[in-house]
Each structure stands twice: as structure tokens, then as C-alpha cells.
Amino acid sequence: MLTFLNHFINGISLGSIYAIIALGYTMVYGIAKMLNFAHGDVIMVGAYVCFFAVSTYNLPPIVGVLLAIVICTLLGVIIEGLAYKPLRQATSLAVLITAIGVSYFLQNAAQLLWTSNPKIFPNMFGGASIKLFGGELIIPVGTLVTIAACIVIMIGLTLFTNMTKMGKAMRACSEDKGAAQLMGINVNRTISVTFAIGAALAAIAGVLLCSAYPSLVPTTGSMPGIKAFTAAVFGGIGSIPGALLGGILLGIIEIFAGAYISTQLSNAIVFLVLILVLLIKPTGLLGKQIREKV
């Protein structure tokens, strides 16, 4: 029973990381109607920034995290301005190819700057843990921080989109960019802010991911990025609660598949579950059916 509970907690922790990454995907898609496949590589950049800040320059972990957030936020705005803004009226295929190109550019730039040798990410939480049931169940503090961060980010984003002027502008652009522009909303600025928020979330996710799985290489963000996109589709892409639900469920499925079926097949099982869900409910668990006029 305790082993099951331990796997369940680990699944929620991993799912929380996927959910934070998926929130970036789902916000960008919901507002700009594009898939930013370079999002996973922003995770890697954030992790590297935090790594060098803490390991090389001996800065406190919180400073490393804040520095990663600032750098990734600027990177997100630059990527949007240089790569995606000129393609506002382009076809979705052109935007998709550009996103893949940006992803490979970031990976290769990281390899040139920091080499492909794995770096061991520092323990951001000092190895502290909480012992329950007489020490039979040990929960690392990092696991609890990851889950708490996901909850706080989810609540913060929900309040931001519902209560603030910029959040309401984002919702308006999500519904109809043309109508939003006629009402005086600066669509380009709104999309830039969305990219900035998504990149900041990617930085946080990168630090949490590498704290749990400490090997850092230029391709670190690739597979988590794909899985987080899967989580966003699973929950209903464009839906903030859907990103949270999809991420948590995906993390739990992956951990239990690896523990009780096969570690080699855990990724395949995750994508198989996604296929089954989309066959039954193509819009995802919390996605809304959108009717288009023809």
C-alpha cells in the first residue's frame, strides 16, 4: 500500500511538471492558435541558466530561479517577435515548420555554447525529506514544492485571466482576434505577453524537472516538451484546467506504467492512452466542441 502511495505521489509530482509546461502550450495555442514546439527547448535554456548561476557563480538557488525566469521571459518575447510575428497571416504549416526550426536552433546553440556533455544539476532543496508512517514513506521536499508550485501557478493564472485587464484581453483574443482589435485591444502586444508568460513557466518547469532528474543536456527539454504537449491535448488544448488535469493524469500513468508494466514501454503506454482518449473524445477531456461556419 505504501509503495502504491509513493508511486502515486511521484506521479502527481511528475504530472505537475508536465502541467506547468502544458500551460505554456495551451495559452499560446488558445490565443495565437499556433503550436510553439520550441517551448520544450526554452525549458532547457532555463535549466542551464539556473545551473550556471548556482554551480558556477555560487548564487543562492532562489536567485538562480529568478534569473532563469527573466532570461527565458526575454527569450520567449524575442522568439515571438523574430520568428512568429512575421507569420501572423501565414498558413499553420509554415508556422509549424518555423517552430521546429527554432527548436533545432536552440538545441544546436546550446550544444555549441555548453557542449553535449551531461551536467549534474545541483540539488535545489538540499536533499531534505519528510518521513511518514515511521519512516516507511519518504517524501522529498522537492516533490512537495513541485506540487505546491503547480497549484499556485494554476490559481495565479486563473485569477490573472479572469481579473486583470491583460487577462481579459487574452480571453478576447482567444475568442476572436479581429473583433478584439476592433474593440481597441493590441493583439500583437497581447500575444507577446502570452509568450512571455509561457516562457517564464517553462523556466520554472526546467528547474523543477532537473531538480528531480539531475542530468542536463541540450536535448533535456525535448521529450518533456512533447509529453507536455500530449498532456495539453489530453486535457483539451486551449483550456487551462485541461492542461492541469492532462498533466497530472499523464504523470500518474507514466509512473504507474513504469513501476507495474515496463520502464521501456512507459512512454509508449502514455501515447497509447492519448490515442484512445482522442478516439473517444477528440477535443480532449475538458475541451469544447467548436462549430465552424462553412
Tell me the per-residue pLDDT of 115-130, one tens digit each, with 9 for 90 and over: 889 999 988 877 778 8
pLDDT of residue 269: 87
Question: What does the pLDDT average to over 12-38?
Answer: 89
Examine the pLDDT at 35 and tell me if it is beyond 90: no
pLDDT of residue 47: 94
Examine the pLDDT at 167 and tell me if it is beyond 60: yes
Q: What one-character-per-residue DSSP string does 132-158 give?
A: ETTTTEEEEHHHHHHHHHHHHHHHHHH
Tallying the residues shown for the chain, one arrives at 294
Which distant-in-sequence residues (6+ apart) come within 8 Å of 213 by Cβ? none
Whether the Cβ atoms of residue 106 and residue 41 lie closer than 8 Å to each other = yes
pLDDT of residue 288: 65
Average pLDDT, the chain: 88
Question: What does the pLDDT average to over 127-134?
Answer: 78
Domains of the chain plus CATH, in order, are 2-280 (1.10.3470)
CA separation for the pair 105, 74 (Å, rounded): 17
For the chain, how many helices (H) and strands (E)? 11, 4
Instruction: Convert the pLDDT of each residue in 205-230 to its tens digit.
Output: 999 999 988 889 999 999 999 999 88
Decide: pTM greater than 0.75.
yes
pLDDT band (50, 70, 90) for residue 290:
low
pLDDT of residue 11: 93
